[in-house]
Amino acid sequence: MALRLGGLSAGSCWRAARGGGGGLSAGAGSRAAGRTCRPPGAAGREPSRGLGHSPAARGGPRPGTGLSGALAGLAGLAGLAAAAFGRAERAEAEPRSRGPRSPSPGRRQDGDDDDDDDELGRRCRCFMAPPVTALRELRARPGDMKTRMELLVLETQAQVCRALAQVDGGARFSVDRWERKEGGGGISCVLQDGHVFEKAGVSISVVHGNLSEEAAKQMRSRGKNLKTKDGKLPFSAMGVSSVIHPKNPHAPTIHFNYRYFEVEEADGNKQWWFGGGCDLTPTYLNQEDAVHFHRTLKEACDQHGPDLYPKFKKWCDDYFFIVHRGERRGIGGIFFDDLDSPSKEEVFRFVQSCAQAVVPSYIPLVKKHHNDSFTPQEKLWQQLRRGRYVEFNLLYDRGTKFGLFTPGSRIESILMSLPLTARWEYMHSPPENSKEAEILEVLRHPRDWVH
């Protein structure tokens, strides 16, 4: 199964222009037919020696906490960065003309220069909005992991939004670019009330500053020995996160999140780690869909080691557990955190493979089911299952909780993962041997879908 998102034939690119509200039209691909955005750092893949975690994480599933967990969360759709929201701007995403480009305020940032026709400038024109970091700074450090990861999350955001818009057939993404006064910012792309999707959010954040003492304390509790200078601990963090809720109860919900965290200690030493994952939440069980989704993720993981998929699948099953219900949020996928070995390059390539697997793992399922007929009873069951989704995100997801209890949080971004509609009924229980009971059995007892 092909994992290169650059192979998507539509390949439309958009430019972002600051100003009034607007969106991304699904039908615009023909104006830039054949153009694709090459995944960053896509030089050939090499066999991996095997990926590993920091000492605290090797013992078993330990979801990220504090600022790292906030990037993990949304429900993580802004997690850490949303917790320090400063100023938002609405951008209009539209197809880019092949004709001469006129200056646009949305295309330039402080520190940018006029040379936007080099490779980096051309790649950036395929994004939903200009990078958070000024192009001049990105050009000055092309091999730095912060540059490479920022470009990866921006490219992933654009490619997922493109695929969703094409399936929806007319929906428009609102593009909100926001800034964090302490450093950095993000881009939140949201589609609501589309033809196919009730709500789809794809958000990126690129932030930096000094960790709070509480965040540093939480990281130390996970086994990280962090040395501060004058009580300060500089950090950089970036990630992409998405939750997509289709209208049809036979089309599943998906969540994914991929992130990078870097801390500079008092002696100049830098600690770094990656985290992320991707999981599927169907309303009804479809064996073929479950196998396709998990097999696609397994193929991405297997490029970097045969032990990764089973390890990260179990971690996912353990993390997305609704304790008070005794069931998982969905049928799982992969989840990992504190990934910091064998090398930064090898872990980045693994994360890149996982990000590139999002579209082929999910979009075929939506195309397959978005026109399926359904009954009022099936729609009701979807609403009840979305209630469970809300319960997990608000009660257990570490990133969501961190953001909600942080002063100055950007609540809109933190809660972007929640569906537009959900339902709770007192003591609801599906009939035995029903399709509803079938999915509950799987949520209570996870299955191995690929062996």
Residues acting as catalytic residues: 255
DSSP β-ladder status, 327-328 and 253-264: unpaired
- Rounded to a whole number, what is the largest CA-CA distance in the chain? 66
Beta strands (DSSP E) in 317-443 are: 321-322, 327-328, 332-341
Query: Both tokens of residue 212?
Result: 């709070």
Task: Report angle CA 224, 225, 229 to the nearest 5 degrees.
Answer: 125
CB 213 within 8 A of CB 258: no
Neighbours of 381 (CB within 10 A): 22
CB 188 within 8 A of CB 132: no
**CA 340 → CA 20, 106, 263, 310, distances in Å?**
42, 36, 13, 18
Classified as helix, coil or strand, 433 is coil
Residues 6+ apart with CB under 8 A from 152: 39, 40, 41, 240, 258, 348, 351, 352, 355
Classified as helix, coil or strand, 173 is coil
Residues 6+ apart with CB under 8 A from 359: 5, 8, 159, 160, 163
Q: Cα(12)–Cα(185) distance, rounded to whole angstroms?
A: 25
Q: Cα(208)–Cα(132) distance, rounded to whole angstroms?
A: 11
DSSP β-ladder status, 270-281 and 184-192: unpaired
Nearest to 177 by CA among 243, 97, 98, 78: 78
Query: Both tokens of residue 397?
Result: 């997801």
Which DSSP string do the residues of 77-116 spell out, in sequence order? SSHHHHTT--EEEEEEEEEPPSSPPPP-TTT--TT--S--
